[in-house]
Structure 1
Amino acid sequence: MKRKLLEYLEWGSLLMSTTAVCFFLVVILWDLASKGAGSLSWDFVSRFPENGMTSGGILPAIIGTVMLTVITAITAAPFGICCAIYLHEYAPDTPVTRLIRASIRNLAGVPSVIFGLFGLACFVQALHLGTSLLSAGLTLGLLSLPYIIVTSEEALHRVPVSIREGAWALGATHFEMVRDIVVPSALPGIITGIILAVSRAAGETAPILFTGAAYYINNPSFSLDQEFMALPYHLYMLSTQHQSVDLVRPLAYSTALVLIIVVLLLNLTAFYIRYKSSKDHATA
């Protein structure tokens, strides 16, 4: 009787916590949608800001965010996957390896503003890349790297040992086993971790604040050595730094809504790729 009562209390606390989180999430989304949907239109996402950002659209910020996300993924994903494969499949279980894993997990908890200051010191000043799209992308790549390593290693850990033993029994080398069996089996989880980490980085403001984000650019280009506009920084400026905050508040809500939609699309893409990869691997 006491054990059942304890189980009911545990399930009740979990249900209440989940309900509270979902409630606040719905409230936040409803607030953004109700205050930002009125200014959201095709012109808003396809035009340049006008009249001191009190009208017009956010096209340069969307372009900058997409390019920044691509650079972040290209920078962080290969190194993160290689580090995870080495740590899980090749590195011996020694105090040094355990220290490296602990350091990676600690890096995942470092505030993003610290990465921004490091990016400023390393990429902008030491490597003389200047405040640019490349500096910001490399900084966000470093920010995403610990998450990608941790999620990729967890995906590799979920591959059953029996699959590895079967590959060895068939005469495969360790490298062939990792390349042909383990990595394809863990690929859905790896891809999901990469996209979720990159989508988180796409919403960061502090790192790009120091490394390349600009208040306004009227001629956005695809050059990596130029400053850029980005949705998170644009939202920050409209909400806190604009001389007419009350006037641009609807535009700030619409910008926040666009940013949430972009992140949501990235997350849905991760879940779809995970589902598709799992299905293809199961039928292979």
Structure 2
Amino acid sequence: MEFSSELIVLAGVLLVAGALTGVLAGLFGVGGGALMVPVLFEAFGFIGVDDAARMPLAVGTSLAVIIPTSLRSWRAHHARGAVDSDLLRRWAVPIILGVLVGAVIARYASPIVMQLVFVVVAGVNAIKLISGTRRWDLSPELPGGWLLRVYGWIIGLLSSLMGIGGGQIANILMTLHGRSIHQAVATSAGIGVLISIPGALGYVFAGWGRTDLPPDAVGFVSLLGVALFVPTTVLTAGLGVRLAHALSRRALEIAFGLFLAVVSLRFIVAILN
């Protein structure tokens, strides 16, 4: 990859996107992947990455960037006493197993599979949050036993395929079971830690030996993308946390829902094209 004006523009785009990602990580507890994946997808196309590798490369790079972002976001929310640490402990193993299965699927599945998962999960969450409906609520509490573990496995699997920190899916499940949006956001930040580390490693191995990746890539993780995103996301995550605790429950739901709706529409366009 030669140093050129295009790469300078790319670096600038990634730095700005990284700053926005950090704010979103703290504000919504989503790790920022819902923004990073579409941005990286476009950026890799800009520098000529093959279409077959663009989506998994964007997903893997997103998971790698989410590692420090989620750690910072989780620590800030934990300091405010908003994280359900017991739930995180019970979900840890199922989530990690789901993440690893998702990484294996990513090596062999069409990129459209990952785009469709992204659209369905983000779209359903957007509708629920914007409408404010409680008709979808399943019960006032999360289930226990094997069903709770299945929930964790689903969070890990879908998050691995989407390149997110699990916030979108965990928010759906927790709010459907009577948890407040603020607690769901805070706990999702901790879930991002559980997902991002094994997820990034899984995508490194899933893309190992591919010849259609840029020179800076290690498997399906772009080192350039990580280097440009991480500093800005870490610096701005704290601002997002402060915004989250300043907003009302309804304002936070609407803001998150509108954001997810925009992301879903973008990938629908990509699938149709």
TM-score > 0.5, shorter chain as reference: no
- TM-score, normalized by length of structure 2? 0.34
TM-score after normalising by structure 1: 0.33
Bigger-Rg structure (1/2) = 1
Identify the structure with bigger relative contact order (alpha carbons < 8 Å, sequence gap 6+). 2
